[in-house]
Structure 1
């Protein structure tokens, strides 16, 4: 009896493996839960193009924006777990939104299966040239002395730059006051015009202005310095131990997607991320390619959910 059961189990496993051997045999949809044209959207498209060549099937990018990424992502949560519908996962949606939205529509850890992380987008604090503090240490001390603190602009409430600014306040006692904008471009425009002294944003959005001398770089919040700005120190180097707050993007599938499919997608994703050509394309967007396993991606999601949850609670951040 036991031998018969074992034989059946082996046969089922072989049949399952054979069923996925031809995956994919039709086009794959990659849902980008944001509007076209941003860094997140562009990163998804360059990866999709390279990945489609490896898989031998088109990867069709579809933009489904709304609710800070919640709507498009939920659509993938509800899709068939067959590997043919994937989502471009963004840290703001997956590990920050669960804490800032009163009725978050899904469980980021249970309802999605990580395929792999694409990369990290480093964040930076930049200041208008007229701002008196030129280093992070000076900024922290200066903010403590201002009766109303010092305003800093970001792309909006609950975004990674907003959370990173509040994390800095919690760890150092600095008094940075968040000014949300409807997009990073609007915040950058006001910083360039001197209407606001500071902007916390992605390196890619600030590098041109920094190089032209229109903005002064204070520090990057990655663990190591950014090749595009090798002279700009990290928060850690500037005296804030273990401070790291980068935005990230990756690919996920619906929960219960067969492991054989996840493994194949991960293998091919890592192969394209290891390509110098693709790495260079991502670098121009301010993203550092980070090949890895689904387990590593899942572990980061879990860690960031816990870390940012504490910040959201302490700062009482709620979605607009």
Structure 2
């Protein structure tokens, strides 16, 4: 257990190791591991081969982005499969029916609308917004470096004022779009000169973004912009993880503020618990 902090908040770290899961011929898509802090189960969302390539998770959304199966799947709280989007085992560019090429991540908002970044395979490089009944509301889908173009879009999230944030990893930037219209609002690239973002989430109060950078094994904490302005990226703190742990995706619990980091190099999940503190410090 470690304590890490930024801007007056201390994050207590717990580790869930994939090696603790018994080897089996078939690993379930939805895996439940015990939380060492409170004894409750923690729902994890991973890819098909969790033990060898721990990818990501979302305790509350109950959706799975299946990179190796080229699908997006929905499960109920018991782990039963209830919906499949895409063609299992077959990549594609089609929109009717919808096809994927290694979708990296998705985000489901409070209304049930779905945002998918379909870019880990390099074929589609697109952001898709779906309605609750899986109709395409808008999309941006072209490889490139200009506005609303992508090079491995790898993470997606929403802020509290209706903006969609996309981790455009290959282009080393975060791109921002209007939630309702899909209009491009701007981009942040000045914080990512070394490496692009792999994942992005907001803290529950909406004041900060937490960004994972894969090969740097680093989490960065950025100041969220006010409504009506994107401005420039500003890093207020970083959390340097152990070398080669490779943080791939992350999730933030909206109620507790806990940060869950999926590390594909270390094949583990780390959980950071916010604890109020007047003096920011990093304690091993």
TM bucket (normalised to shorter chain) is under 0.3
Query: Larger strand proportion, structure 1 or 2?
Result: 2
**Rg larger in structure:** 1
Which protein has greater RCO, CA pairs closer than 8 Å, 6+ apart?
A: 1
Return the TM-score normalized by structure 1: 0.26
Relative to its length, the structure with more helix (as a share) is 1
